[in-house]
């Protein structure tokens, strides 16, 4: 068996097992209406993404003799560079995945964590595609 055939079989198995798990998972016996976020929750997610991915870089600053201001300016510049690198569809999806893990780590129930994760992934798909 070739490596490509093994990969194809593995991909098929994973997709079937994921579909089965989703059918029996946290959304079982829940209607689609229950799964959608409330207006408040949707606004919260939208604001979260706006703050995370839509911030603009600072224009050139003249650094003065104050070392604390210079340090703050350097830190801000580093954070803006990191933001530009993560301001992609992949970076957005990675952020959504990280937030899902944080939800579980904080003791959130599976249904709520997955609802928010789906909303974040949907927001990534709309924003970056």
* Residue 73 domain-assigned (yes or no): no
Asked whether the beta carbons of 111 and 27 are under 8 A apart, the reply is yes
pTM (global) more than 0.75: no
Give the mean model confidence (pLDDT) for residues 42-61: 73
Structural domain total, the chain? 1
* Residue 129 domain-assigned (yes or no): yes
Asked whether the beta carbons of 127 and 95 are under 8 A apart, the reply is no
* Residue 122 domain-assigned (yes or no): yes
* Residue 128 domain-assigned (yes or no): yes
Range of the domain at 94: 88-129
Task: Kindly state the greatest CA–CA separation across the chain.
Answer: 68
Asked whether the beta carbons of 76 and 58 are under 8 A apart, the reply is yes
* Residue 83 domain-assigned (yes or no): no
pLDDT of residue 15: 54
pLDDT in tens, 56-109: 555 555 556 788 888 888 888 777 766 665 788 888 898 899 999 999 999 998
Query: Residue 1 — pLDDT band, cuts 50, 70, 90?
Result: low
* Residue 51 domain-assigned (yes or no): no
């Amino acid at each position: 068996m070739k490596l490509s055939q093994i990969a194809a079989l593995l991909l098929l198995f994973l997709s079937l097992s994921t579909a089965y798990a989703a059918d029996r998972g946290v959304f079982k016996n829940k209607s689609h209406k229950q799964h959608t976020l409330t207006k408040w929750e949707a606004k919260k997610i939208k604001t979260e993404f706006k703050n995370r991915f839509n911030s603009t870089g600072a224009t050139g600053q003249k650094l003065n003799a104050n070392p604390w201001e210079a340090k703050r300016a350097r830190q801000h510049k580093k954070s803006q560079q990191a933001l530009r690198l993560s301001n992609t569809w992949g970076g957005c999806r990675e952020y959504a995945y990280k937030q899902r893990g944080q939800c579980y780590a904080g003791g959130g129930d599976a249904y709520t964590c997955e609802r928010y994760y789906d909303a974040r992934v949907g927001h990534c798909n709309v924003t970056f595609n």
